[in-house]
A and B are shown apart, each in its own frame.
Chain A
Amino acid sequence: MTDVPAAETKGSATAVPEAMAWDNRARRVVLLYVPLACFVLILLFPFYWMTVTSFKPNAELYDYKTYNPFLIGSPTLDHIYKLLFQTAYPRWLLTTMMVAVASTTLSLLSSVLAAYAIQRLRFRGSQYVGLAIYLAYLVPPSILFIPLATVVFQLGLFDSPLALILTFPTFLVPFCTWLLIGYFKSIPYELEECALIDGATRLQILRRITLPLAVPGLISAGIFSFTLSWNEFIYSLAFIQSSEKKTVPVAIITELISGDVYQWGALMAGSLLGSLPVAIFYSFFVDYYVSSLTGAVKE
């Protein structure tokens, strides 16, 4: 029983007969590259379709008989022009950007402090505070939006971007804190002890030693928060009413869809432009993003 496979592995390690090598290559193509290509194709197709649609003139868009729908016959910027100059789209984009940046900054600040307190100051019960913050991440916005709407209303923040800036941290802070606790854990405590002996205060230690070492963690948390707040939908839908204060995802759904005839060209152009900032931002920091995703899972 043990001899046969051992001989087999030995065989594959040394000279492989030509037919078998071909077999291996064919096997690899069929079992690896073909499924992988299918995955990539399916995962990317909606983006391709989005792009193609946004640059097609209406005549081509609704006529599959004369034009090949996968290609653009005569590309046009009509939809994008219409979007940028005949709707409040730039305004929505600006609002979204502002809300995302502000809520990211707010969450990063409070999570850095919280993570530092939990992981480094080590007070009694710090584990439980950490656990509570982790559990907060498991509370989905879909359960919270109705009572939050009344809270926002009572605070007089209804229909104001401030409502979004203050509510987004409910899902950003738990995630960022969790991620940063993991990063702080990886920084040797001895460094801080040395600084303490040298007479540095706790805040100096945080500013001069811990934070510079945790920069990759900060970047990951920042990117993650930015994309999460850019993508947020349900709070923006529930708390913002006036058209000009809406964020891009909500505005496309509620403002661009008018009547029964959908302007697919403009809708797709809007989706494309709304996705681009996050996609570009993401492409600069892919590795940080992946590490934060996987690091958070591994923690």
Chain B
Amino acid sequence: MAVATVTDWTRARPQPSWLARLLDYKPFLVVACLLPAVGLLTVFLTYPLGLGIWLAFTDTKIGRSGVWVGLENFEYLMSDPQFWSAVFYSIFYTAVATFGKFGLGLWLALLLNNHLPFKSLLRAIILLPWIVPTVLSAIAFWWIYDPQFSIVSYVFVDVLGVRDKYFDFLGTTWPARWSLIAANIWRGIPFVAISLLAGLQTISPSLYEAALLDGSTAWQRFRYVTFPLLLPILAIVMTFSIIFTFTDFQLVYAITRGGPVNSTHLMATLAFQRGIAGGELGEGSAIAVAMIPFLVFATLFSYFALARRKWQQGEAND
């Protein structure tokens, strides 16, 4: 009798259905949660990455599966001056544009770090070049670089009277190369400035006060307080910037399409021209694969050269 009352007390727990139990089973849940993301990335990122490396060693063309040709594609590219010109310009473009973006971006970040009226509005305006589709602002630059109706030429020739001839921005090799770099810097400044501004705002004002009390000059405060504390963020932003500048495609494709006389091809646009437009998938992949060592090197360099200080200081900050 007593036993019966005891069983009465323990009210039958509502048994969850098998589906609910399955959904609460951790290993199943982990797999189910990771499946969409990992599935998408495997099919459309990891597999193509491997396939691209394989394609680089074949003579695949559009509409025809190729056979293994070993290093033939690379041997051909080695003797191709156009490829070397693209390699050179990619490195040059990345180096100069990164230098410009970071120099000007850091300056802008330092300016924005002051007390300013309408600060958030200013920040919003400054990010605009970064928001707007690159191709669309590139077309605007193309129009600004027009040989006959360039507004820049108009200002220099007709308003200021400094020059007597309109600039030929995109007609010859070096002016075209510099024009593209200028457009890239223009587009990159906002991202660098806003990210570095976030870094600047994490630096405690008391450090500056201490430095000020010790009698430091503005330059010393920048050199010994701001810069070292900014380095970790600088390293990450620079890694991203280098990767995406080196593999830039849109700007060049929209403004010059690699011209004049193929002198402004970056490796990505050359890969597109040979691989998709020309149909030589194997050769295009070889050019794309040739970018990988540069990217790995640039990433390691910018990361270790700059982030090294972080672990030297022993910060337990992930």
Contact surface of A with B, Cβ cutoff 8 Å: 1-2, 4-6, 9, 32, 35-36, 39-40, 42-44, 46-47, 49-50, 53, 61-62, 64, 69-70, 106, 109-111, 113-114, 116-118, 121, 123, 129, 133, 136, 138-151, 166-167, 169-170, 173-174, 177, 201-203, 227, 230-231, 233-234, 237-238, 248-250, 252-253, 264, 267-268, 270-271, 274-275, 278-279, 282-283, 286-287, 289-290, 293-294, 297-298
- B20, B33, B148, B186: the one within 8 Å of A43 (CB): B186
Distance between Cα atoms of A61 and B143 in the complex (Å):
11
CB distance from A6 to the nearest CB of B (A): 7
Complex interface: stretch among B42-50, B69-77, B91-99: B42-50
Chain B residue with the shortest CB-CB distance to A50: B140
Residues of B within 8 A of A167 (CB): 44
Distance between Cα atoms of A109 and B34 in the complex (Å):
11
Residues of A within 8 A of B12 (CB): none
- A4, A47, A139, A238: the one within 8 Å of B215 (CB): A4
Tell me, yes or no, whether B23 is within 8 Å of chain A by CB: yes
Contact B212 A9 (CB under 8 A): yes
Contact B233 A148 (CB under 8 A): no
Distance between Cα atoms of A252 and B139 in the complex (Å):
9
Contact B143 A53 (CB under 8 A): yes
Tell me, yes or no, whether B194 is within 8 Å of chain A by CB: yes
Task: Contacts A202-B24, A275-B133, A293-B191 given; indicate if A268 touches B285 (C-beta within 8 A).
Answer: no
Contact A267 B143 (CB under 8 A): yes
Chain A residue with the shortest CB-CB distance to B40: A169
Residues of A within 8 A of B78 (CB): none
Contact A297 B198 (CB under 8 A): yes
B-side interface mostly? helix
- B41, B111, B124, B239: the one within 8 Å of A39 (CB): B111
CB distance from A167 to the nearest CB of B (A): 5
Distance between Cα atoms of A231 and B112 in the complex (Å):
27
Chain B residue with the shortest CB-CB distance to A70: B151
Distance between Cα atoms of A118 and B284 in the complex (Å):
36
Tell me, yes or no, whether B126 is within 8 Å of chain A by CB: yes
CB distance from B220 to the nearest CB of A (A): 11
Contact A43 B49 (CB under 8 A): no
For this complex, 24 residue pairs linking A to B, each with C-beta atoms less than 8 Å apart, are A114-B33, A114-B38, A121-B29, A123-B27, A133-B41, A141-B247, A143-B52, A145-B288, A146-B275, A148-B48, A169-B40, A170-B44, A174-B41, A231-B132, A237-B253, A252-B135, A253-B254, A264-B149, A278-B131, A278-B132, A290-B127, A293-B195, A294-B198, A297-B198
Distance between Cα atoms of A166 and B194 in the complex (Å):
31
Contact B288 A142 (CB under 8 A): yes
Distance between Cα atoms of A253 and B250 in the complex (Å):
10
Contact B37 A114 (CB under 8 A): yes
Distance between Cα atoms of A149 and B284 in the complex (Å):
12
Q: Which positions 267-312 of chain B face chain A at CB distance < 8 Å?
A: 267-268, 271-272, 275-276, 281, 284-285, 288-289, 291-292, 295, 299
Chain A residue with the shortest CB-CB distance to B24: A201
